[in-house]
């Protein structure tokens, strides 16, 4: 018997809906909210309003593109958290209404688990290797940076995480002080390709165990720029590419140092990368280099599934559906929701 899942993602500033059948992606529609760029960051109240406007047309498009009818959907999976409460509420309420109207079960999904399970999404016409259990996943997004030990599709344990800012936040905040548009990560990535990554040196944090810290780097970057600007008002303009390259290089090194430590400690060499920052070319190159150097089997997500998307929610829903892990109409979103 085949399983068709409709996935809904609305945790931050992207409204997304996807349909998957037996893990194969039939459609994945994402409506980005351009409005936040004007403010240099996500404005929660504007995000929930935009979700309200987008959700019905986005779901409609996902179902049409999938070439199915509503009656073929076996369950609806939605992001319960973590994320912005108002945004999560839109997806959760939509899922409740849809489940009630169609008389189908509802599955709640942890957004972070969704990012990790992108590695199990199948493409209609492309064979892809999937990680074998147990594997380690470096999950790096705008809100989270953690190393997760994945024992099965639904059994996961965080073995290291940031004690302050996330890697994506470090990209975004440093980009902001350089006057680059939001979100800064992709822009820094683009400019870094044109710069010298050894031009500027930023000290790396000393944090215990497998944990991360990125707020010190952000502050060091800010003070460094402030000092340089005192003697040269055009310092940022003249050194933008080198600043981006050096910043990216430092963030990637911080991320990889702990990942190597985790691989060594656990003896696991199946290593996956997930989350918005997994789109970063410097990080992807470093993962490939490490795979050669340490004999890791590395799994990089396709670009379309690095940042927030509903296909990752649908695939998590697929495995929970098999386990009959359903929720009732009394379910409420959770702004904080760890693995």
**Where do contacts with ligand KG4 occur on this chain (CB under 6 A)?**
12, 141-143, 168, 171-172, 183-186, 189, 275-277, 279-280, 307-308
CB of 109 or CB of 286, closer to Zn ion = 109
Minimum separation from the CB atom of position 24 to ligand KG4 (A): 23
Give which of ligand KG4, Zn ion, none residue 172 binds (C-beta under 5 to 8 Å, depending on kind): ligand KG4
Give which of ligand KG4, Zn ion, none residue 316 binds (C-beta under 5 to 8 Å, depending on kind): none
- Rounded to whole angstroms, the Cα distance separating 248 from 286 reads 11
For residue 61, give the nearest of 33, 35, 26 by alpha carbon. 26
Residues 245-304 that bind Zn ion (CB under 5 A): none
Give which of Zn ion, ligand KG4, none residue 82 binds (C-beta under 5 to 8 Å, depending on kind): none
Give which of Zn ion, ligand KG4, none residue 277 binds (C-beta under 5 to 8 Å, depending on kind): ligand KG4
For residue 116, give the nearest of 81, 148, 145 by alpha carbon. 148
Count Cα neighbours of 117 within 13 Å in the Cβ-side half-sphere. 27
CB of 145 or CB of 241, closer to Zn ion = 145
Burial class (CB in 10 A: 0-12, 13-18, 19+), 22: exposed
141 binding Zn ion? (CB under 5 A):
yes
Give which of ligand KG4, Zn ion, none residue 301 binds (C-beta under 5 to 8 Å, depending on kind): none
For residue 323, give the nearest of 109, 165, 167 by alpha carbon. 109
Minimum separation from the CB atom of position 85 to ligand KG4 (A): 15
Count Cβ atoms below 10 Å from residue 260 Cβ, excluding itself. 15
CB of 183 or CB of 195, closer to ligand KG4 = 183
Minimum separation from the CB atom of position 74 to ligand KG4 (A): 27
Question: Over 165-192, what HEC string results?
Answer: CCHHHHHHHHHHHCCCCCCHHHHHHHHH
Contacts of 243 (CB under 8 A, 6+ apart): 178, 195, 199, 200, 225, 236
Residue from 308, 312, 314, 320 touching Zn ion (CB under 5 A): that is 308
Minimum separation from the CB atom of position 308 to Zn ion (A): 4
Give which of ligand KG4, Zn ion, none residue 183 binds (C-beta under 5 to 8 Å, depending on kind): ligand KG4
For residue 187, give the nearest of 302, 104, 279 by alpha carbon. 279
For residue 334, give the nearest of 83, 102, 135 by alpha carbon. 83
CB of 174 or CB of 268, closer to ligand KG4 = 174
Of 73-81, 137-145, 190-198, 288-296, the window that binds Zn ion (rule: CB under 5 A) is 137-145
242 binding Zn ion? (CB under 5 A):
no
Indicate the residue whose CB is closest to ligand KG4: 276
For residue 214, give the nearest of 272, 159, 158, 170 by alpha carbon. 170
CB of 55 or CB of 252, closer to ligand KG4 = 252
Give which of ligand KG4, Zn ion, none residue 165 binds (C-beta under 5 to 8 Å, depending on kind): none
Per-residue burial over 264-298, b if 16 or more Cβ lie within 10 Å, else e, is eeeebebbbbbbbbbbbebbbebbeebbeeeebeb
Task: Write out the residues near Zn ion by the rule CB under 5 A.
Answer: 141, 308
């Amino acid at each position: 018997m085949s399983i068709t899942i409709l996935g809904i993602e609305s945790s931050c500033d992207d409204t997304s809906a996807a349909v998957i059948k037996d893990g194969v992606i039939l459609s994945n529609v994402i409506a980005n909210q351009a409005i936040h760029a004007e403010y240099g960051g996500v404005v929660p109240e504007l995000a929930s309003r935009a979700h309200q406007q987008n959700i019905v047309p986005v779901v409609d498009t996902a179902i049409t593109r999938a070439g199915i009818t509503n009656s073929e959907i076996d369950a609806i999976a939605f992001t319960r958290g973590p994320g912005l409460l108002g945004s999560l509420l839109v997806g959760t309420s939509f899922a409740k209404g849809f489940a009630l109207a169609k008389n189908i079960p509802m599955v709640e999904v942890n957004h972070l688990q969704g990012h990790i399970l992108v590695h199990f999404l199948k493409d209609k016409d492309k064979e892809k290797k999937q990680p074998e259990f147990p594997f380690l996943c470096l999950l790096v997004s705008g809100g989270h940076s953690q190393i997760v030990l994945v024992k099965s599709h639904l059994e996961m344990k965080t073995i290291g995480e940031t004690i302050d800012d996330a890697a994506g936040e470090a990209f975004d905040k440093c980009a902001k002080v350089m006057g680059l548009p939001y979100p800064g990560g992709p822009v820094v990535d683009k400019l870094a390709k044109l710069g010298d990554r050894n031009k500027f040196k930023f000290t790396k944090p000393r944090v215990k165990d497998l944990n991360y810290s990125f707020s010190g780097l952000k502050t060091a970057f800010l003070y460094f720029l402030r000092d340089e600007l005192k003697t040269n008002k055009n310092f940022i303009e003249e050194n933008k590419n080198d600043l981006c390259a050096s910043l990216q290089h430092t963030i990637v090194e911080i991320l990889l140092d702990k990942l190597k430590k985790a691989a060594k400690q656990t003896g696991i060499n199946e290593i996956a990368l997930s989350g918005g920052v997994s789109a970063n070319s410097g990080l992807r190159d470093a993962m490939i280099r490490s795979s050669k150097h340490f004999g890791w089997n590395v799994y990089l997500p396709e670009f379309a599934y690095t940042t927030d998307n509903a296909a990752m929610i649908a695939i998590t829903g697929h495995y929970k559906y098999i386990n009959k892990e359903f929720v009732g109409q009394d379910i409420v979103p959770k702004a904080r929701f760890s693995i």
